[in-house]
Amino acid sequence: MPNPEEELISELRRGGVDLVCTLPCDRVKRLISILSYPKKSSTFRGPRQTDISQLLHIPLTREEEGVGICAGAALAGKRTAIVLQNSGIGNMINALLSLTYFYRLPLALFISHRGIYKEKIAAQIPMGKKLPGILKGAGISYSLIESRADLKNIGKKLTSVYRKNSIHAFLLSPAVWEDSTCSVKPSMVSSPPAFCSDRPAKAGHKEVRKLKPVLTRYEMLEIIAPYLDDAVVVSNLGVPSKELFHIKHRPSNFYMLGSMGMATPIGLGIALSSDKKIIVIDGDGSLLMNPGSLATAAYCSPENLTILAIDNGAYGSTGNQPTLTGKCVDLELVARGFGMQNTCKVAGKRELSSIMKKKDIGPRFIHCIALPGNRDVPNIPLSRLEIKRQVQGFLTIR
């Protein structure tokens, strides 16, 4: 008789799930270990497709970025799920509503429901008790998986979730795993990482340059526009998306209308689900809000992903309040520290054009130093569903 972990994975496969993002919880540690079990060598770098599940597994740094990755993958036609602890719901409600729900993208949440059944950690109890009410208030439907017998209902429900483009949460009681005899050992770190603060730069890394901005974001978008024709472009929310639409609209442009901090995760999700070139136009405020997405991008290492970080030292869409990149943060160094191998810093027209012409293997991180300020352009005259349909149409073209 299969273990409950294997039963759940069988239900995921029956529901057609392609990609699973996870964050740790003690109660589902064996499930996550099965999902992350390498198909090939244990030294394989990047997301793993497992022998048992045949699911692409992506470990996350934060729940919210999983929403973005799954949204991008869903745009490319993949069926996605996130495994998390209920404490993480608070980290993702805005993204769930302003991205997944807003664009009508399907997503299954498998929530380790702590704080209810034989809970020994008092801090887990408040969220555990309030979780059903929080989901109901957010308009997210849910199913209680209170015993192993309830697992058999998941696959059928998943089929409905993906057909209706809805969000559904499965609340997994710890009781589900009580009789498991799963022999897969939880993944554990056997030794600390061999890093030190004074280690030399990797081969090929140049010393970080300090550049003076000479172009506004709008002027930079004008320069890069001719190089975007064959790419899916994920544009940061607010003024950057309006400026890009005004310069040159393409059906392959995914204009973000909300969900700050999700541009890079969305682009990563599409890149892992499509062979097309993916370019993310992100910003300093957005990246500072969700910097761990750079670590996940470095880990996954999709060769078709380029991140353009247009850094004007300001929250441009909310009144040009200063960000910390104008004081103490160098985003290129941040990207390197998170493991991005191919990085550079540009400011002028010639070097920006030159870097866009290159056919480098990604993931690439291009730190674009810009002047603050916005161009006065009209709103985008497309609905959120028109934006989604156009991008999905482009992604289906062979």
Of the listed ranges 18-32, 168-182, 198-212, 258-272, the one predicted with least confidence: 198-212
Dig out the tokens for 392 from the structure. 């999905």
Assess contact for 265 and 237: CB atoms under 8 A.
no
Going by C-beta distance under 8 Å and a sequence separation of 6 or more, which residues neighbour residue 283?
Answer: 217, 236, 240, 263, 309, 310, 311, 312, 316
Dig out the tokens for 280 from the structure. 């993310």
- Looking at this protein, which amino acid is placed at residue 50? T
**Does residue 24 or residue 317 have the better pLDDT?**
24
Q: Does the pTM of the predicted model rise above 0.85?
A: yes
Neighbours of 239 (CB within 10 A): 19
In this prediction, residue 211 has a pLDDT band, given cuts at 50, 70 and 90, of: confident
Task: Give the residue-averaged pLDDT of 252-266.
Answer: 96
Q: Which helix (H) or strand (E) holds 254?
A: strand 253-255
Closest CA to 7 of 54, 55, 50, 53: 53
Task: Name the pairing type of β-strands 80-85 and 107-112.
Answer: parallel
**CA 79 to chain CA centroid, nearest Å:** 14
**Does residue 190 or residue 140 have the better pLDDT?**
140
Domains of the chain: 4-177 (3.40.50.970), 217-395 (3.40.50.970)
pLDDT of residue 183: 75
Share of residues in the chain with pLDDT > 90 (%): 82
Q: What angle do CA 296, 297, 302 make, to 5 degrees?
A: 135
Task: Give the residue-averaged pLDDT of 91-99.
Answer: 96
In whole numbers, what is the pLDDT of the chain averaged over residues?
A: 90
Alpha helices in 118-206 (DSSP H): 125-137, 154-164
Task: Give the residue-averaged pLDDT of 137-158.
Answer: 96
Label residues 164-190 b or e (16+ Cβ within 10 Å = b). eebbbbbbbbbbbbeebebebeeeeee
